[in-house]
Structure 1
Amino acid sequence: MANHMLGLGSQFPTFSKTAVVSLEQGKEFSTITSEDHKKDGKWLVMFWWPKDFTFVCPTEIAEFNRRAGDFADRDASLIGASTDSEFVHAAWRRDHDDLRGLKFPMLADTSKSLAEELGILTEGEKVAYRVTYIADQDGVIRWVSANDLSVGRNVDEVLRVLDALQTDELCPCNWKAGDATL
């Protein structure tokens, strides 16, 4: 039986994982934990993709990267993640033009323990679905969006929801930053 996906109101699982943070020799890897964003008083936006060196994934990662400043402006720690190793992440970044200048860490959940706790692994091959989480400064999950493997996500929508959550008010359908709240 499959794990159930962790949902709204749940505490984002505790983790400490290696991530690729740079392509500079000797500075490629860093440890990232579930507490990092909390101690900085930031929101957490973590998006998962199934596999490095595939085709839909780099389009999403490149778009998140283009918008990295928008997440930073909203006091959000942006983290990309898959179950590939940090060495595969680093190789992919070196290999792919759109990934060389990433402004956010690529988390390596090599043991698949975090993806398993989140309940986002596919049956069989056990790769992560395209799931995006927004957790608040206390680590409480406030939004989850899950796409099947073949469908890329909408980064504007992630930012729209982050804006709405941060207003701490009621936001109507199709609300965008600057619109009236209810």
Structure 2
Amino acid sequence: MALINTQIKPFAANAFKDGAFITVSADDIKDKWAVFYFYPADFTFVCPTELGDLADHHEELQRLGVEVFSVSTDTHFTHKAWHGSSDTIGKIKYAMIGDPTQEISKNFEVLRENEGLADRGTFLVDPDGVIQFTEVTAEGIGRNAAELVRKVKAAQYVRSHPGEVCPAKWEEGEETLAPSLDLVGKI
């Protein structure tokens, strides 16, 4: 995607978190890892399964120093209503950003202009505000938060170990690669 290795754009938006309305901005993630988890709409079908799965992995992401933000073009008021009416959504402890102006969805290039909804897009932003990975799936394809955690660990490992890269299916503690001329054609 064209957004890989680019700086996130400034934004400010209202969100629902921990029973309160808050304002979230790009300044809130300076010097932090952050996941932006876009989804089409509240009160739908696949979305609550994804957000619930993400909630189940939220503590692990927090231990990794990652701030988590779900984003849809709904309002923060709608997020509060959904949080209060669904057991699955009620377990969410991360910020649920409302993007009714569609600014954030446009910034991350996941807005379906003709519908006013966001695609299912996941973005990992490093402490410098640079997008390290992105995943976008079609409407009916739900994401896997365990795989998100694996990718976060790989991105953090690569950042803290210059000159090393993580191969396919890499899990924490497994061997990495040190790209060199000697590896060309040997793998």
- Return the TM-score normalized by structure 1: 0.91
The one-letter code sitting in structure 2 at the alignment partner of 1:13 is: K
Note the alpha carbon deviations across 1:116-155, whole angstroms, 9 max, x for none.
Answer: 1221112421210000000100100000000111110111
Larger Rg: 2
Q: CA deviation at 1:53?
A: 0.2
2:4 counterpart residue number: 8
User: Structure 1 residue 177: deviation in Å?
Assistant: 1.0
Cα pair 1:6 1:119 within 8 Å, conserved = no
Percent identity (aligned): 33
Q: In the alignment, is the contact (CA less than 8 A) between 2:52 and 2:91 conserved in 1?
A: no
2:127 to 109, 131, 137: 137
Structure 1 segments, 4+ long, off by >4 Å, are none
User: Deviation at 1:35?
Assistant: 1.4
State the partner residue of 2:181: none
Alignment partner for residue 33 of structure 1, among 21, 25, 39?
25
Partners of 1:75 and 1:125 in 2: CA distance = 34
- TM-score norm. by structure 2 comes to 0.88
Structure 2 CA distance for aligned equivalents of residues 101 and 6 of structure 1: 34
1:78-117 to 2 correspondence within 5 Å? 78-117=68-107
Match of 2:61 among 61, 71, 79: 71
Q: Secondary structure at the match of 1:35?
A: helix
Amino acid at match of 2:174: D
**Aligned counterpart, 2:51:** 61
- Match in the other structure for 2:36: 46
Distance 2:104 2:93 in 1: 22
Match runs of 1:109-128 below 5 Å: 109-128=99-118
* 1:20 is the counterpart of 2:16: yes
Partner SS for 2:112: coil
Q: Which runs of 5+ in 1 are unaligned?
A: none
2:163 is the counterpart of 1:171: no
* Residue identity matched to 2:76: E
Gaps of 5+ in 2: 159-163, 178-187
Q: Deviations over 1:63-85 (max 9, x none)?
A: 11011011001111011110000
8 Å CA contact 1:45, 1:76 repeated in 2: yes
Partner Cα distance (2:8, 2:135) in 1: 14
| CA offsets 1:35-68 (integer angstroms, 9 cap, x no match) | 1121xx3201110100000010011101110110
Matched residue type, 2:18: S
